[in-house]
Structure 1
Amino acid sequence: MAPSRNRRPGFSRRAQYGLFLSYVIAGAGALVALVLLALSSVNPPAYAAARATVAELTTPLSSGLAAIGRGLGSIPAGIGEHFAVKARNAELRRELADASRLLQRARTLNYDNRRLRALLHFRERAVQPVVTARLVSSTASSTRRVAVLNAGSWQGVREGQPVQGPEGLIGRILETGPNTARVLLITDPESIVPVRRTRDGLAALVVGRGDGMLDVRSVSLANAAFGAGDLFVTSGTGGIFAPNIPVARVVRRASDIALARALAQPNTLDFALVQQAFLPPPAPKPAPTATPTAMPSPSPTSAPTLAPSAPE
């Protein structure tokens, strides 16, 4: 009689080893997770140091994998661009003709603006860049929206500095290591950015939702109307973000609170610019020191007091 083909894994030495190895890996993973959870609850500074160490070790690997991914992802785009170059060229010519008219108008407005600034003696604070670095990774499934920057305190990066991309605001520096930094994205629920609407200057706040989208909330009007396509830029309030940095665009019409989409997407960016805070915090006031009080000196005209003599 031929043996049955439905043999249990216990008859195979290879299957036994594979099953045992899977149990060992699962148990080790659960143990490491429990240790990290306990460490984050009992000793948050030690957990932050461990997380920074892991980021330092994994950043070179993340940079290499990101470079490989960018290279492989550019192949289809290059092929498509090769076959569509003629149509793209005609479209760019039309856009150039439209842009030339806008450029002439912008030059006129810029000239008038310079003359008015000179008349008003207007002085504008220039924000100095700190460093240009790569965003090597970012969270995609967690409710916290944090990205890792491959530049840290050795490159001059400090906590609270704004991070900007070509399309708009990305976030601000949350933590720094020697060569890495964690960026709190504007889509994080703990991120609040003061903004204004470009068409009428309406003051608002952009708050992260944790799902990749943003909430725009009015701070000056009750039941303010938001229209689809409204563009919001930073207002400069708070002293962290410089004014006029593009932040978000409203998705659909709403009142009081509107759903918006961030203009800068960290998962599509190669480089990010770290800048100094628009208004640095004031220097701490010196502590008052106690001044010694001078003792009153005896008057030179006062006569010395003589002690009474003892009787003889």
Structure 2
Amino acid sequence: MARPSNRRPGYSRRAQYGLFFGYVTAVSGAAVALLLLILSAVDPNGFGALKGAISDATLPITSAGRWAVDRSSDAGGTIGSYVNAAGQVRELQAEAKANQTRLIEARALAFENARLKRLLGITERGAKPVAVARLVSSTGSSIRRYAILNAGYLDGVRNGMPVRGPGGLVGRIASAGAVSARVALITDGGTIVPVRRVPDGTPAIATGTGDGLIDIRALGAENITFKRGDVFVTSGAGGVYPPNVPVAIIARTTRESFLALPVADPAALDFAIVEPPYQPQVEIQRRVLPPAPGQ
């Protein structure tokens, strides 16, 4: 027959000993507490000394516990700081990207303002412009080089008018429609511009080559040579183009020709100015005759 599973403590010696020592511990604790209570009432000084001794005895344990708590707090703070630092780094990186975007936008605005100021300076110093319009396209191949301007004869644009940008001469109006016009660029094979070298004023002729370059030829003397880096501006000879507008810079020299790059690149221009044809003012000095006798 199987033994019952629920047996009383009296059937186990180990359980009896455990119960006995539990009673002894409880009674001892109560007795000690009673003695401490009586001691605190009868001899407060002695009770204070006893508390000091107990405090001294438990000081290492208390210090060790406090150290463990502090280290745990420091570890938690370090982990929290690391997590916060990662978040702050991400915030700083996002802020840096935003600042970089704003910096690029500010530089673009500064460039645009400088370009518009140059255009404004041209309109203030020179003749009153006919129109300020956008260059919407330009040809990049073939010997004929043209650009399309979004202004036409309704805006006052006429055939033959010079076109310039902030940097220099762009070309000449080849044909004008109602709201658009075709500009023959200075690199076009049929464009010829009277120029002079800066600063000595040596006269020359600039002719477009049709491949993005300009051929510079000296006038009147075959032994005149140009060198790389020479700058040429319009001379104003023959009218049409106003004087002192930058045209080209010598980039390559050969035995038979001097090839230059245009100062104003139409592919890099947004806006251009259409001006009236230049008309040189001829000063006529009239001789002042003495009055006739009797007058």
User: Per the alignment, in what secondary structure is the counterpart of residue 128 of structure 1?
Assistant: coil
Q: Which residue of 2 aligns with 1:214?
A: 214
User: Per the alignment, in what secondary structure is the counterpart of residue 237 of structure 2?
Assistant: coil
> What is the alpha-carbon root mean square deviation over aligned residues?
2.4
Q: Under a length normalisation based on structure 2, what TM-score does the superposition of the two structures give? A: 0.52
Report the CA distance shift for 1:79/1:259 in structure 2 as closer, same or farther (over 3 A).
Answer: farther
Q: Distance in 1 between matches of 2:253 and 2:150?
A: 39
- Residues 105-140 of structure 1 show CA distances to partners (whole Å, capped at 9, x for unaligned) of xxxxxxxxxxxxxxxxxxxx9532101000001111
Q: Which residue of 1 aligns with 2:20?
A: none
Q: Under a length normalisation based on structure 1, what TM-score does the superposition of the two structures give? A: 0.49
Residue correspondence of structure 1 range 143-162 to structure 2 within 5 A: 143-162=143-162
Report if aligned partners of 1:217, 1:256 keep a CA contact under 8 Å in 2.
Answer: no
Report the CA distance shift for 1:247/1:81 in structure 2 as closer, same or farther (over 3 A).
Answer: farther
Report the CA distance shift for 1:81/1:212 in structure 2 as closer, same or farther (over 3 A).
Answer: farther
Q: Distance in 2 between matches of 1:207 and 1:238?
A: 15
Q: What one-letter code is carried by the residue in structure 2 that aligns with 1:168?
A: G
Report if aligned partners of 1:225, 1:256 keep a CA contact under 8 Å in 2.
Answer: no
User: Per the alignment, in what secondary structure is the counterpart of residue 129 of structure 1?
Assistant: coil
Report the CA distance shift for 1:79/1:184 in structure 2 as closer, same or farther (over 3 A).
Answer: same
- Residues 67-95 of structure 1 show CA distances to partners (whole Å, capped at 9, x for unaligned) of xxxxxxxxxxx859649x8xxxxxxxxxx
User: Per the alignment, in what secondary structure is the counterpart of residue 252 of structure 2?
Assistant: coil
Q: Distance in 2 between matches of 1:260 and 1:224?
A: 16
CA-CA distance at 1:257 after TM superposition: 2.5
Report if aligned partners of 1:224, 1:256 keep a CA contact under 8 Å in 2.
Answer: no
CA-CA distance at 1:213 after TM superposition: 0.6
User: Per the alignment, in what secondary structure is the counterpart of residue 154 of structure 1?
Assistant: helix
Q: What one-letter code is carried by the residue in structure 1 that aligns with 2:251?
A: V
Report the CA distance shift for 1:128/1:264 in structure 2 as closer, same or farther (over 3 A).
Answer: same
Q: Which residue of 2 aligns with 1:251?
A: 251
- Residues 17-44 of structure 1 show CA distances to partners (whole Å, capped at 9, x for unaligned) of xxxxxxxxxxxxxxxxxxxxxxxxxxxx
User: Per the alignment, in what secondary structure is the counterpart of residue 130 of structure 2?
Assistant: strand
Report if aligned partners of 1:194, 1:236 keep a CA contact under 8 Å in 2.
Answer: yes
Q: Distance in 1 between matches of 2:206 and 2:276?
A: 21
Q: Which has the larger radius of gyration?
A: 2
Report the CA distance shift for 1:81/1:173 in structure 2 as closer, same or farther (over 3 A).
Answer: same
Find out whether 1:181 has 2:216 as its counterpart. Answer: no
Report if aligned partners of 1:226, 1:256 keep a CA contact under 8 Å in 2.
Answer: no
Q: Which residue of 2 aligns with 1:166?
A: 166
CA-CA distance at 1:223 after TM superposition: 2.7
Give structure 1 stretches of 5+ with no counterpart.
1-77, 86-124, 281-312
Report the CA distance shift for 1:133/1:82 in structure 2 as closer, same or farther (over 3 A).
Answer: closer
Report the CA distance shift for 1:81/1:141 in structure 2 as closer, same or farther (over 3 A).
Answer: farther
Q: Which residue of 1 aligns with 2:195?
A: 195
Q: Distance in 1 between matches of 2:223 and 2:102?
A: 47
* Pairs aligned (count): 164
Report the CA distance shift for 1:279/1:141 in structure 2 as closer, same or farther (over 3 A).
Answer: same
Q: Distance in 1 between matches of 2:134 and 2:200?
A: 35
CA-CA distance at 1:254 after TM superposition: 4.6
Residue correspondence of structure 1 range 20-35 to structure 2 within 5 A: none
Report if aligned partners of 1:193, 1:234 keep a CA contact under 8 Å in 2.
Answer: yes
Find out whether 1:278 has 2:278 as its counterpart. Answer: yes
Q: Which residue of 2 aligns with 1:128?
A: 128
CA-CA distance at 1:190 after TM superposition: 0.4
Identity score, percent: 50
Q: Which residue of 2 aligns with 1:97?
A: none
Q: Distance in 1 between matches of 2:204 and 2:102?
A: 41
Report if aligned partners of 1:218, 1:256 keep a CA contact under 8 Å in 2.
Answer: no
User: Per the alignment, in what secondary structure is the counterpart of residue 251 of structure 1?
Assistant: strand
- Residues 161-209 of structure 1 show CA distances to partners (whole Å, capped at 9, x for unaligned) of 0000011000000001110000000000100000000121110000000
CA-CA distance at 1:279 after TM superposition: 1.3
Higher helix share: 2
Give structure 2 stretches of 5+ with no counterpart.
1-99, 108-124, 281-295
